[in-house]
């Protein structure tokens, strides 16, 4: 039995619909993006709570606060160093921070450790 390209396209569409049916954006997605984007440059990490960090960002932050280098963090989380740097940059923007030391202080103050 052989299927046509049209059938393959139809099957793929159906599969994609089922696969993503339960995928939902975080309810605070807009707020998170605004913290980093619209409010970029406004200093002071007075955003409270988790500061709109994603789970992955909190993981990276925990490791930064433990004194790990980007390379060590990349190896531990099985992601590239570039991705670690991107997570850090996004966090700095969101939290209005400018250094790893400030991020570490923020992590302690906000109980991320």
Partner 1 sequence: VTPAQEQAFTEFVRANGDALLRYARLLVPDNAEAEDLLQTALLRLARHWPRDLSAPTAYLRAALVNLARDRARRRHLVPVPAEPDAGATADGSDHAEAIAARARLDAILGTLPIRQRITVVLRVIEGLSEAETAEVMGCAAGTVKSNLARGLEKVRAAIQATFEETGSR
Using the structure block, give the residue that is written with the tokens 């940059």.
89
The one among 11, 98, 101, 109 contacting partner 1 by CB under 8 A: 11
Does the protein bind partner 1 through residue 58 (CB under 8 A)? no
Does the protein bind partner 1 through residue 56 (CB under 8 A)? yes
Burial of residue 101, with CB atoms counted within 10 A of its CB: 0-12 exposed, 13-18 middle, 19 or more buried = exposed
- The span of 38-46, 63-71, 101-109 binding partner 1 (CB under 8 A) equals 38-46
Nearest residue to 58 (alpha-carbon basis) of 88, 101, 28: 88
- CA pair distance 94, 89, nearest whole angstrom: 9
Contact residues toward partner 1 (CB under 8 A) are 1-5, 7-9, 11-13, 15-16, 18-26, 29-34, 36-40, 54-56, 78-80, 82-83, 86-87, 90, 93
């Amino acid at each position: 039995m052989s299927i046509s390209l049209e059938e393959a396209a139809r099957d793929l569409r159906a599969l994609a619909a089922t696969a993503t049916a339960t995928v939902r954006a975080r309810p605070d997605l807009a707020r998170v993006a605004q913290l980093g984007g619209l409010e970029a440059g406004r200093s002071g990490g007075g955003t409270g709570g988790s500061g709109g960090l994603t789970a992955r960002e909190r993981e990276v932050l925990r490791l930064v606060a433990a004194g790990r280098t980007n390379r060590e963090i990349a190896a531990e989380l099985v992601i590239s160093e570039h991705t670690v740097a991107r997570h850090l940059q996004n966090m700095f923007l969101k939290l209005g921070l400018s250094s790893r030391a400030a991020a570490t202080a923020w992590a302690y103050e906000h109980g991320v450790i």
